[in-house]
Amino acid sequence: MKDREGKNHPHLLMLDEFGGEIEGELKFNKSLYQYRHRAVSEENWAFKREQWGPTDPGFTSIMDSMDDLNLTDNSDDEPIHIFRITSKGRQVASGIKRGLGKLDPGFSEKLDTISSVAHRNKNRSGSEIVEDDDIQEAKEETYQSNV
């Protein structure tokens, strides 16, 4: 993810818009892809076509960094990986929304897209999200290619 898109912290905002918890890396990755597919140009944030479809190659390091900063709690003790936002993470997400809402004219559209994706996917499993047309189209691409 290039710095231009990274400043919007889509991972943290997506987690916040999901109500603070996302069950499973598959669900999180595919929701981020749907946001990127609808709102961000591909050259600013490349996803790789992996075995299970489009995947953010920097996902693990970004989530580990947010966990180290106590913005998220990335619990992998459960049978399924659960990502939770902390109270500090909520404060940061709120600050990003307020700050970029004033400074970046295109930010409200991106936030609306994140909210839309979160609303649609909140009560769906990662396996259900994978069946969406945009994910299926990305899965048809060559393995390891940018999608």
pTM over 0.85: yes
State pLDDT tens for residues 80-121: 899 999 999 999 999 999 999 999 888 999 999 999 999 999
Instruction: Give the DSSP letter of residue 42.
Output: G
Q: How many helices (H) and strands (E) does the chain have?
A: 8, 5
Q: What is the Cα–Cα distance from 122 to 110, expressed in whole angstroms?
A: 18
CA nearest neighbour of 45 among 14, 10, 80, 21: 10
Whether the per-residue pLDDT at 129 is higher than 90: the answer is: yes
Residue 83: CA atoms inside 13 Å, Cβ hemisphere, count? Answer: 27
| Tokens found for residue 24 | 């499973």
State pLDDT tens for residues 29-88: 999 999 998 887 666 777 888 877 788 888 999 999 999 999 999 987 778 899 999 999
More confident residue, 71 or 144: 71
Whether the per-residue pLDDT at 7 is higher than 60: the answer is: no
**CB-CB contact of 118 with 31 (8 Å):** yes
